[in-house]
Amino acid sequence: MSANRAAESLLALSQHEELVDLPEDYPLSASEDEGDSDGERKHQKLLETISSLGGKNRRKLAERSEASLKVSEFNVSSEGSGEKLVLADLLEPVKTSSSLATVKKQLNRVKSKKTVELPLNKEEVERARTPLEQEIFNLLHKNKQPVTDPLLTPVEKASLRAMSLEEAKMRRAELQRARALQSYYEARARREKKIKSKKYHRVMKKAKAKEALKEFEQLQKINPTAALEELEKIEKARMLERMSLKHQNSGKWAKSKAIMAKYDREARQAMQEQLAKNKELTQKLQVASESEEEEGGTEVEELLVPDAMHEAQMNADGPNPWMLRSCTSDAQEAEIQEDPEQLPEPLAHNVSESEGDERLVAEEEILLKEFEEKRSLRKRSELNQDAESVGSQETKDSISREVLFELRTLSQKLKENHQSRKQKASSVGTVPQVQREVPAPEEEEEALLLQRPERVQTLEELEELEKEGCLQNKELPRPVLEGHRLKKNPNNQTDSPKKKKKEQMIDLQNLLTTKSPSVKSLAVPTTIEELEGEAERDQKQMIKEAFAGDDVIRDFLKEKREAVEASKPQDVDLTLPGWGEWGGVGLRPSAKKRRRFLIKAPEGPPRKDKNLPNVIINEKRNIYAAAHQVRVLPYPFTHHRQFERTIQTPIGSTWNTQRAFQKLTTPKIVTKAGHIIKPIKAENVGYRSSSRSDLSVLQRNPKRLSAHHKKQLKKNSID
């Protein structure tokens, strides 16, 4: 009812509205169409007003930001409220109820009520319709399993009844703990599985190996049968290794590494590790238990004859004491002394070290062969011996002794080689890196060593030494050596005069003194007593030889000369070819002309580093500092020297007393924190604040202060 009334009133209004709106909104139409279009328009309007009654799809109100219809960026117009109202907006508070309201209410009521669920017949569920179902039900009944899916199975119910509350709680806690632990373990395992770092895995492997070893030992003590089983396992591994030859450096990987091994230390190490692993796996176990203990202690008891592939093995580290460098010599010596039974491997070629070692290689091969022969002999003798503890020890001792002796002889030969080569070679030549440091374990060496009170200084003395024939090894291929000698000689000769010249230059200067390194000294380890200093000396020697081509002083002098020349002002040459003489492509102007037109630059002031031979002082103008310096002479100064004198004094605290420094560096404005700074007042400065309104701002005379004005100032300051 109310809705109808509202609609009627609306109609009336809209009709009224229509009459007003018409001329503005619609363009003037032809007279013929007026009648039809009128009706249509009326209908449209009616529809619009009715739809707006519903409360939805209402036209949004225009925002009243500037209260004007015309909005422009250049002005703010003052015509405010010319906007017409829309009637529908005013009708919002009149809420009309729709005819469907009752239906809506019923629907809501129905939705809110909960539906009643009839319980199903239990019998219906359990009735077995087919034989299959019957069977299933029988089975379930037998095992006391529930047929339907209850909350608690009969088993669970029984167990619940059995436990009391506390017990139940405890058991639950236990289960929880177990679950938590399992989850931690799982998480940890997952994390660890992801680790890819090689270092980590290597460390893990080592640790595991150690643990395994410990366990094995324990197992031996506790349960010998289990130990025997472990042994069997090891045997199996050994068999596998021997059959498959997996770690023999014969696979694709090993071959590729072998190519790189020449240049890459890590490749070498990797190959070596593989071979070591092979040896480990294939080592033969002694039957008696003591031998196993020894095995546990030492790594290698016996070595097989190395394959051809082993020749490619590089030994930076490893049980080759005489192959090691001087710097690590001490550590290695100690090691050797500890484990004398470690059999050194045959000398390998140090191809990687330097090309020059090729000559060494040839000689070493021969020595190698000798050594191998002796070893094989020994081994045969070993095999014949008993494997008992005493016997083995004896053999070990004998082995060790033999080994030592062999070592000694080998070292001897090597040293001789070394020496002879050294005698020919100058220090400028290649550094024979091998055999420099020979472990001198025993005193017997002394007798065999070369020792001279004076050092060899010149070529002639060296030749003499040679002729003396100090234990030359006749097996060495002579022509090779001769070749070396010839090669080295010219080098030597060219170098020595150079060096002499250098020394002379330095002497002339008489300012720079150098401790001339006696470049031709022999780098032979002299006595055993000097073992400690030997390493350092050798190190120094090595460094000297490595940097023998670097003459720091000469380079510095050269640099200084260059700097001085560069900083000198250049002479200006204004000569032009032609003009009174022939000029052309290959012709130079005459000397007289050149003399005439050359403008010599005046010599500047003496450099600050003139009397300092080991210093180069850069006297170039610093652009960055110049950017902060003054370009034009400031006002009160008339001469630049005046200004410079005032500027010359440094301001820092190193050059001034503390008080002076503080005074020089006081800031122009000092403010206190929290203090309110008010705007300046004219009276404070001596200006007259004119209260006369007819005076314009510009008509002020700041210099003259009247008496009255002064009084005012005083008054203000007191305030």
Q: Return residues touching another protein (CB under 8 A).
A: 66-67, 74-76, 78, 80, 622, 625, 628, 650-652, 654-658, 669, 671, 674, 676-682, 687, 693, 696-698
**Spatial distance between the Cα atoms of 147 and 123, rounded to a whole number of angstroms:** 12
Identify the CA nearest to 427 among candidates 544, 533, 526: 544
Residue in the structure block whose two tokens are 């909350």: 151
Closest to another protein by CB, 199 or 621? 621
Report the nearest approach of another protein to the CB of residue 706 (Å).
20
Report the nearest approach of another protein to the CB of residue 511 (Å).
22
Residues 610 and 619: beta-carbon distance below 8 Å: no
Token reading at 411:
């070292």
Report the nearest approach of another protein to the CB of residue 618 (Å).
10
**Spatial distance between the Cα atoms of 295 and 289, rounded to a whole number of angstroms:** 10
Report the nearest approach of another protein to the CB of residue 13 (Å).
32
Closest to another protein by CB, 598 or 617? 617
Closest to another protein by CB, 510 or 671? 671
Report the nearest approach of another protein to the CB of residue 556 (Å).
21
Residue in the structure block whose two tokens are 């596998």: 240
Report the nearest approach of another protein to the CB of residue 665 (Å).
11
Token reading at 396:
């070990």
Closest to another protein by CB, 79 or 565? 79
Closest to another protein by CB, 32 or 79? 79
Report the nearest approach of another protein to the CB of residue 666 (Å).
15
Identify the CA nearest to 521 among candidates 655, 635, 427: 427
Closest to another protein by CB, 97 or 648? 648
Burial of 146 (0-12, 13-18, 19+ CB in 10 A): middle
Report the nearest approach of another protein to the CB of residue 439 (Å).
55
Residue in the structure block whose two tokens are 């140090």: 350
Angle subtended by helix axes 389-424 and 459-468, to nearest 10: 140
Report the nearest approach of another protein to the CB of residue 564 (Å).
20
**Spatial distance between the Cα atoms of 422 and 701, rounded to a whole number of angstroms:** 101
Report the nearest approach of another protein to the CB of residue 66 (Å).
6
> Side-chain half-sphere of 289: how many Cα atoms within 13 Å?
7
Closest to another protein by CB, 591 or 623? 623
Closest to another protein by CB, 97 or 691? 691
Residue in the structure block whose two tokens are 């002309």: 593
Identify the CA nearest to 426 among candidates 551, 518, 525, 354: 518
Pairing of the two strands 572-573 and 598-599: antiparallel
The amino acid that residue 637 corresponds to is F
Chain CA centroid to CA 325, Å:
31
Residues counted in the chain:
719
Closest to another protein by CB, 697 or 707? 697
Closest to another protein by CB, 97 or 693? 693
Closest to another protein by CB, 74 or 579? 74
**Spatial distance between the Cα atoms of 95 and 167, rounded to a whole number of angstroms:** 67
Report the nearest approach of another protein to the CB of residue 79 (Å).
10
Closest to another protein by CB, 12 or 67? 67
Report the nearest approach of another protein to the CB of residue 653 (Å).
10
**Spatial distance between the Cα atoms of 630 and 636, rounded to a whole number of angstroms:** 14
Please tell me what DSSP assigns to residue 616: -
Report the nearest approach of another protein to the CB of residue 568 (Å).
23
Closest to another protein by CB, 588 or 681? 681
Report the nearest approach of another protein to the CB of residue 557 (Å).
24
Closest to another protein by CB, 94 or 647? 647
Contacts of 332 (CB under 8 A, 6+ apart): 321, 324, 439
694 φψ region: left (φ > 0), alpha (ψ -120 to 50), beta (else): alpha
Burial of 469 (0-12, 13-18, 19+ CB in 10 A): exposed
Closest to another protein by CB, 593 or 700? 700
Q: What angle do CA 245, 248, 253 make, to 5 degrees?
A: 110
Report the nearest approach of another protein to the CB of residue 688 (Å).
12
Contacts 24+ apart (CB under 8 A), 607-616: 607/564, 607/567, 609/560, 613/509, 613/511, 613/512, 614/511, 614/512, 614/556, 616/559, 616/560, 616/563
**Spatial distance between the Cα atoms of 20 and 388, rounded to a whole number of angstroms:** 132
Identify the CA nearest to 616 among candidates 565, 564, 551: 564
Report the nearest approach of another protein to the CB of residue 612 (Å).
12
Task: Dump the DSSP string for 280-346.
Answer: HHHPPPPSSHHHHHHHHHSS-S--PPP-GGGGG---SSSS-GGGS-STTHHHHHHHHHH-TTPPPPP
Closest to another protein by CB, 65 or 717? 65
Please tell me what DSSP assigns to residue 126: H
Please tell me what DSSP assigns to residue 601: P
